[in-house]
């Protein structure tokens, strides 16, 4: 009978033919392929970092909406690669080294001219990237199940904050070295505000001269007031001319700057802004200008990158599922003993 019983049982001790739950795959916790993927991501991430640096530099030289879109696309690719790095590289030391190399690569095209702001932004970027990676990696590996979404979300939030500090520091450094805001950058800022200004002046164009711009604003106001019955119809053209003349006098009194004949709105407003910034610096309030620029740029960049975070997360999850389907990545069960505290 003992011999018969032993023959009717499998190697695991269960009766032959009895229901047996599927055994989970036991993984070797000592197996670590971080070094191999370190070089893969060094190539991919380094190339993407150079591409990011180039696109940001191109935007600085010619700030247009198209170049800004190019920066957004390349940043999404860079963030997606970094989130995959969370899965593929387990070593904290290798990740720290990779993060430092990627940050240095992003800064590579900005070495002329160079400032201490670059070092500050780079240091803050490395710190946020590394600690967010470590937090996300611990969350990914310490749980009972692999949950990539919350871990990648934590990592991307930290990376977005680090990138915002890095880019804000870069622009503050460029502002200091240029001695103020450049006309090209100012034109880009005004073009972004054009949709709001078109409510006051239809078909607003910042290159329009001040006289034509004020005439358009007054004519638009009179038309709306006439349509609503606040003003009688058929007002003479002299009403528009007198209103424009009064607006010009108030504008000159407000800004303290005379309007040159044929001067465009963009040139006049730029002259006013640069004059005001110089006056603040002469009064010893340059630090207030620098601080304001840093805060505005930081939150503007972080807000834009936050919108990019969600499509990046979706792309990362899709790529992760693809890697699982082709057996580049698999999920197993870790069998290990662990000390615990028992309170009696």
140-170 residue pLDDT tens: 777 666 777 888 888 889 988 988 888 888 8
Whether 309 and 172 map to the same domain: the answer is yes
Whether 48 and 169 map to the same domain: the answer is yes
Q: Is residue 8 part of a domain?
A: no
Question: What are the pLDDT digits (tens) for 245-264?
Answer: 887 888 778 877 887 777 88
**Model's pTM, two decimal places?**
0.67
Whether 243 and 118 map to the same domain: the answer is no
- Tell me which of 239, 257, 286 is where a domain ends: 286
Contact at 8 Å (CB) between 218 and 248? Answer: no
Q: Is residue 336 part of a domain?
A: no
- The residue range of the domain holding 205 is 196-286
Whether 309 and 164 map to the same domain: the answer is yes
pLDDT computed for residue 343 by the predictor: 45
pLDDT computed for residue 237 by the predictor: 66
pLDDT computed for residue 16 by the predictor: 46
Q: Where are the alpha helices (DSSP H) in the chain?
A: 2-7, 34-61, 65-88, 92-106, 116-142, 148-178, 183-197, 210-227, 237-255, 265-282, 286-325
Whether 135 and 228 map to the same domain: the answer is no
Whether 167 and 64 map to the same domain: the answer is yes
CA distances in angstroms from 96 to 35, 90, 130, listed in the order given? 13, 11, 6
pLDDT computed for residue 18 by the predictor: 46
Low-confidence ranges of the chain (pLDDT < 50): 1-31, 112, 339-344
pLDDT computed for residue 334 by the predictor: 60
Whether 275 and 316 map to the same domain: the answer is no
Q: Is residue 334 part of a domain?
A: no
Q: Is residue 335 part of a domain?
A: no
Q: How far apart are CA 98 and CA 48, in angstroms?
A: 13
Q: Is residue 84 part of a domain?
A: yes
Question: Domain tally for the chain?
Answer: 2
């Amino acid at each position: 009978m003992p011999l018969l019983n032993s023959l009717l049982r499998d190697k695991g001790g269960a009766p032959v033919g009895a229901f047996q739950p599927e055994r989970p795959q036991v993984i070797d916790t000592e197996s670590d392929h971080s070094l191999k993927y370190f070089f893969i991501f060094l190539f991919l991430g380094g190339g993407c970092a150079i591409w990011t640096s180039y696109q940001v530099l191109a935007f600085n030289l010619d700030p247009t909406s198209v170049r800004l879109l190019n920066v957004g696309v390349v940043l999404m690719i860079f963030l997606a690669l970094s989130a995959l790095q969370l899965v593929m590289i387990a070593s904290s030391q290798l990740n720290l080294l990779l993060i430092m190399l990627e940050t240095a690569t992003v800064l590579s095209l900005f070495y002329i001219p160079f400032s201490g702001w670059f070092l500050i932004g780079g240091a803050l970027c490395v710190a946020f990237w590394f600690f967010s990676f470590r937090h996300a990696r611990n969350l990914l590996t310490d749980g009972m199940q692999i949950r990539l979404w919350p871990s990648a979300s934590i990592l991307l939030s930290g990376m977005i904050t680090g990138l915002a500090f890095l880019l804000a520091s870069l622009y503050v450094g460029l502002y200091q070295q240029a001695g103020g805001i450049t006309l090209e950058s100012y034109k880009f800022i005004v073009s972004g505000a054009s949709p709001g200004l078109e409510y006051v002046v239809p078909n607003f164009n910042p290159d329009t001269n001040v006289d034509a711009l004020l005439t358009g604003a007054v004519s638009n106001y009179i038309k709306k007031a006439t349509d609503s019955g606040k003003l009688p119809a058929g007002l003479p053209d002299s009403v528009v001319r007198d209103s424009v003349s009064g607006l010009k006098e108030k504008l000159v009194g407000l800004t303290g700057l005379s309007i040159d004949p044929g001067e465009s709105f963009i040139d006049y407003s730029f002259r006013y802004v640069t004059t005001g910034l110089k006056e603040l610096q002469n009064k010893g309030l340059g630090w207030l200008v620098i601080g304001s620029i840093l805060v505005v740029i930081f939150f503007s960049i972080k807000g834009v990158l936050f919108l990019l975070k969600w499509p990046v997360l979706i792309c990362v999850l899709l790529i992760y599922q693809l890697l699982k389907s082709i057996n580049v990545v698999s999920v197993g069960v870790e069998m290990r003993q662990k000390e615990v505290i028992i309170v009696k």
